[in-house]
Amino acid sequence: MADLDVVVVGAGFAGIYAVHALRSAGLTVRAFEAGSGIGGTWFWNCYPGARCDVESKDYSYSFSPELEQEWSWSERYPAQPEVLRYLNHVAGRFGLWPYIQLNTRVTAAEWDGERSEWTVTTDDGASRTARFCVMAVGCLSAYQVPSLPGLETFAGPWYHTSRWPREGVDFTGQRVGLIGTGSTGIQVAPEIAAAAAHLYVFQRTANFAVPNRNRAVDPSWEREFKADYRSYRKQAQESFLGVPITGTGRPALAEPPADIQRNLMERWRAGGGMPFLGAYTDVLVDRAANDIVAEFMRDRIRETVSDAAVAELLCPTAYPVGAKRLCQSDDYFAMFNLPNVTLVDIRSAPVSSVYAGGLRTADSVYELDALVFATGFDAISGALNRIGIRGVGGVPLTEKWAAGPRSYLGMAAAGFPNMFIVTGPGSPSVFSNMVLSIEQHVEWIRDCVAYLGSHGYSTVEAKPSAEDAWMAHVTEVAYSTLFPLADSWYVGANIPGKPRVFTPYLGGVGPYRARCDEVAAAGYEGFVLD
């Protein structure tokens, strides 16, 4: 008999809710978390300026009406410390601490076909057996530092934003180099610029950013909003992104140009990426419509940045707007008007090496006291590939995914019975309100485990044919949009040598939920139950 019913790997939003939901269903559960605290992404990414790009009213658990009434968010877009406080509150409120083991990294998980159980090994040398394994490792947890020649010779400190020192970093009086201008780089840059003697922003690809218009939550708005929270959550579940947004419902190409500009400006002034990109139905599928929105955004950069050459360099042209994660910032572009900030184009003159005193590019040398990497993650599959996961016949997950990550419904991989992935490849995951998707996945997994128990089955495994069909569908939907045109982490293009596979499911969380429900209602169609 296995030690546990379920081992949960990770204690971020997904792991915390998995522990609660599975325990509430009467199962014995233990979660292992590498960090010294819970929170996952929100634990590790404690760099200054870290903030969620989904509004707090949406980016919060909906499973408990009491919780959602009790908790008050202070800001429209929550900053990292507040998200972390929230998750710690949830763990305490629902009595989850005894079931979460911190400072413990799972190093291997191996399926034993004879005993129908997983053996999970941790970095303290211990092993546990469990009937089920729930991988709640996060989509953006395996961070990457580029291999720059000479980095080991750099005399000053260097940091990756995803492993920021918890005690903070004082850049006062320093010359700081920042590599990476995605969502993270755009958030951290103004914070560094406010303290440093000089900030050099090394930009490989210019990125689009909309304003947050972040603000304190108004208590009267909150009261009114909370009065109708349940029906709002229902709308979210049925929506496309997991956040109910109001678009015009019309294609931009059928709209008079002046109306488009007026409408985009209204949304720009209101702030937020989802309402802005969702203004028209064709922006993410038709390049001509996309160009209108992209040019609108470039015009905002041009009117914000006073040096015309710097503004032009900051104008993204390499990909359709939205095809990479749309960044959000209230102060990034204006920061380039500060005398202590320099934008360096490393697309035309790439970084050649790091030396003790700084960084060399193809055409210049930059003297630096500290280096910051905001260079992103081996997304979605990276964290799973770093665990030694072996399925039926001892086959490693890395071998199965050698040509790219794949799974059935983004939750289960053929050849890996009784292993569930929360927001894995082929799930709406990062293309949705993650918290809402996590809740849906976890509840589906909980119900599947309960179904096995009540019907006398001990194992569940995705059929290869179901996995193939699901991934073909994921690909077909993705290639009907403009998303594949960008070299983004959605396709793994940011990791040298990673196979180019479009991993998030773009079919929308409402239709996805309906499909998952159909699969369950049909006795877990596409799975072998044994």
x-marked contacts with ligand NA7 along 342-381 as a string, rule CB under 6 A: ----x---------------------------xxxx----
**What residues numbered 459-498 form the site for ligand NA7, per CB under 6 A?**
489, 494
SS (H, E, C) 272-329: CHHHHHCCCCCCCCCHHHHHHHHHHHHHHHHHHCCCHHHHHHHCCCCCCCCCCCCEEC
Answer whether 320's CB lies under 8 Å from 331's CB. Answer: no
Q: Residue holding tokens 């934008």?
A: 343
In whole angstroms, the minimum distance from the beta carbon of 39 to ligand NA7 comes to 15
Output 391 or 410, the one with its CB closest to ligand NA7: 410
Output 85 or 204, the one with its CB closest to ligand NA7: 204
Output 260 or 372, the one with its CB closest to ligand NA7: 372
Output 184 or 437, the one with its CB closest to ligand NA7: 184
In whole angstroms, the minimum distance from the beta carbon of 346 to ligand NA7 comes to 6
- Among 177, 185, 211, 425, indicate the residue that binds ligand NA7 (CB under 6 A): 185
Output 319 or 524, the one with its CB closest to ligand NA7: 319
Measure Cα distances from 51 to 56, 128, 515 in Å: 10, 36, 32
In whole angstroms, the minimum distance from the beta carbon of 181 to ligand NA7 comes to 4
Answer whether 251's CB lies under 8 Å from 282's CB. Answer: yes
Output 293 or 491, the one with its CB closest to ligand NA7: 491
Task: Check residue 80 and report its DSSP letter.
Answer: H
Output 23 or 325, the one with its CB closest to ligand NA7: 325
Distance (Å, whole) CA 261 – CA 332: 23
**What residues numbered 189-248 form the site for ligand NA7, per CB under 6 A?**
204-205
In whole angstroms, the minimum distance from the beta carbon of 498 to ligand NA7 comes to 12
Supply φ then ψ for residue 146, to 5 degrees. -65, 145
Q: Considering CB under 6 A, how many residues would be counted as binding ligand NA7?
A: 20
What is the rounded radius of gyration, in angstroms, for the C-alpha atoms of the chain? 23
Structure tokens at 422: 């929360």
In whole angstroms, the minimum distance from the beta carbon of 494 to ligand NA7 comes to 5
3-state secondary structure of 475: helix
Task: Check residue 350 and report its DSSP letter.
Answer: -
183 binds ligand NA7 (CB under 6 A): yes
Supply φ then ψ for residue 155, to 5 degrees. -80, -30
Distance (Å, whole) CA 347 – CA 181: 12
Output 60 or 184, the one with its CB closest to ligand NA7: 184
Output 19 or 380, the one with its CB closest to ligand NA7: 380
Output 376 or 510, the one with its CB closest to ligand NA7: 376
In whole angstroms, the minimum distance from the beta carbon of 481 to ligand NA7 comes to 17
Please enumerate in sequence order all residues whose Cβ is within 8 A of that of 184, keeping only pairs 6 or more positions apart, or say none: 45, 47, 50, 161, 162, 374, 376
In whole angstroms, the minimum distance from the beta carbon of 462 to ligand NA7 comes to 27
Measure Cα distances from 459 to 11, 100, 113, 398, 452 in Å: 25, 25, 10, 22, 7
In whole angstroms, the minimum distance from the beta carbon of 436 to ligand NA7 comes to 15
181 binds ligand NA7 (CB under 6 A): yes
Output 44 or 416, the one with its CB closest to ligand NA7: 44
Distance (Å, whole) CA 85 – CA 510: 29
Cα Dmax for the chain: 70
3-state secondary structure of 41: helix
Distance (Å, whole) CA 308 – CA 178: 22
140 binds ligand NA7 (CB under 6 A): yes
Residue 147 CB: number of other CB atoms within 10 A? Answer: 7
Minimal CB distance to ligand NA7: which residue?
182
Q: Which one-letter amino acid corresponds to residue 34?
A: A
In whole angstroms, the minimum distance from the beta carbon of 388 to ligand NA7 comes to 26
In whole angstroms, the minimum distance from the beta carbon of 525 to ligand NA7 comes to 32
- Among 30, 325, 390, 513, indicate the residue that binds ligand NA7 (CB under 6 A): 325
- Among 75, 85, 93, 146, indicate the residue that binds ligand NA7 (CB under 6 A): 146
Q: What angle do CA 473, 476, 478 make, to 5 degrees?
A: 110
In whole angstroms, the minimum distance from the beta carbon of 323 to ligand NA7 comes to 11
In whole angstroms, the minimum distance from the beta carbon of 365 to ligand NA7 comes to 17
- Among 60, 80, 122, 184, indicate the residue that binds ligand NA7 (CB under 6 A): 184
SS (H, E, C) 214-232: CCECCHHHHHHHHHCHHHH
**What residues numbered 418-437 form the site for ligand NA7, per CB under 6 A?**
430
Residue 197 CB: number of other CB atoms within 10 A? Answer: 12
Residues near ligand NA7, by CB under 6 A: 140, 146, 179-185, 204-205, 325, 346, 374-377, 430, 489, 494
